[in-house]
Amino acid sequence: MTHEIAVIPGDGIGQEVTPAAVEVLESLDLDLTFVEGEAGDAVKEERGEALPDETRELAAEADATLFGAAGETAADVILPLRDVVGSFANVRPARAYPALDAVQPDTDIVFIRENTEGVYSGIEAEVDDGVRTLTRVVTEDASREIAEFGFRYAKRNGFDDVTIAHKANVMRETDGLFLEVAEAVGDEFGVDYDTALMDALAMHLVMNPEDYGVVICPNLAGDMLSDLAAGLVGGLGLLPSANVGEDNALFEPVHGSAPDIAGEGVANPSAMLLSAAMLLDHLDYGDEAERVRDAVEGVLAEGPRTPDLGGDAGTDDVTAAVLDRL
């Protein structure tokens, strides 16, 4: 069965790492077709909108989407795109590789981030001169959906530790509901889990990441804690992610368009290639996904490496080395 993949490189290093991922996917000789769409700052400048309708449709109709990064228009691109694929879960694995000099080499954590509401509900207002508000939306349905996804993910992927992040002592109504529902789901699954206040959790993640496996988070907490974990394992160049819905999904590196290095050809493609591996998993190409992960891991171990990892290789060199191993 042919799978159609929408490919949206976006801005900055998105333009550099996305072709690398397509090249790797093409090398596997699977029944995949690729259709490319435009989004981001450059398109906004040209056409007045960051996410043209035809790109939206491409993502809606494809079996999965591969997204690079957008720049200043990121929120206008990625939030609607996550919506288009109906994604309610953002899966962000942060894993240290033995060969790399990670701040915390024992890190192997998967953040399962609620992807539709919380403080990213987009409901903001200027209520008076110099006074602005934000409405934090938490629903029982979305909380249950993300908690079920998180506990199921832990079970399927052999994680013993599940932690529910929250701040219900302060946000009593909203996180109170999130916590109550997530705990109920944990009890239904009949597994042990912990709950953690998200601020204290940030500290514990830095000091003792080995104590954590799957961390189920409200939207903003998941965004921040996963970037924090990126720092523990060697930087944003390594972190892939999946935005998963009922029957569609979008895969993207956690990093942005990295304007500081864009155009230099030195972006680390690993995060993007590992996102492509997650896409393969999603399409039930588990063996190929594992092969891509092994090849990336092999190159991370033996080089070549991009400057963010202390090397002097370019994106193309790393991609070629991964292709070689495949």
The catalytic residues are 120, 167, 199, 223, 227
Which of Mg ion, ligand NAI, none is residue 259 near (CB under 5 to 8 Å by kind)? ligand NAI
Sign of the CA dihedral 177, 179, 182, 188? negative
- Per-residue binder mask for ligand NAI (CB under 6 A), 302-321, x = binder: ----x-x-------------
- CA separation for the pair 323, 309 (Å, rounded): 19
3 state DSSP class of 34? strand
| Residues ≥6 apart with Cβ < 8 Å to 155 | 189, 191
- The interface with ligand NAI within residues 35-74 (CB under 6 A) comprises 69-72, 74
| One of 223, 288, 308, 317 touching Mg ion (CB under 5 A) | 223
Minimum distance from residue 290 beta carbon to Mg ion (Å):
27
58 versus 216: smaller Cβ distance to Mg ion = 216
Q: What is the largest CA-CA distance in the chain?
A: 60
Task: Considering the complex, state which of residue 137 and residue 236 has its C-beta at the smaller distance from ligand NAI.
Answer: 236
114 binds Mg ion (CB under 5 A): no
Task: Give the span between the Cα atoms of 155 and 160, in whole angstroms.
Answer: 8
Cis peptide before 52 (omega within 30 of 0): no
Q: Which of 3, 60, 8 is nearest to 39 (CA)?
A: 8
**Nearest to Mg ion by Cβ — which residue?**
223
CB under 5 to 8 A by kind: which of ligand NAI, Mg ion, none does 223 bind? Answer: Mg ion
Please, which residue, 67 or 88, has the CB nearer to ligand NAI?
67
Q: Work out what residue 78 binds among ligand NAI, Mg ion, none; the CB cut-off runs from 5 to 8 Å by kind.
A: ligand NAI
Give the shortest CB-308-to-ligand NAI separation in angstroms. Answer: 4
Minimal CA–CA distance to 3: which of 47, 53, 61?
Answer: 61
CA 104 to chain centre: 20
**Considering beta carbons, is residue 206 or 220 the nearer one to Mg ion?**
220
Do the beta carbons of residue 118 and residue 137 sit within 8 Å?
A: yes
In whole angstroms, what is the distance from residue 237 CA to residue 309 CA? 9
Q: Does 91 bind ligand NAI (CB under 6 A)?
A: no
Chain residues in the site for ligand NAI (CB under 6 A): 13, 69-72, 74, 78, 236-237, 252, 255-261, 267-268, 271, 306, 308
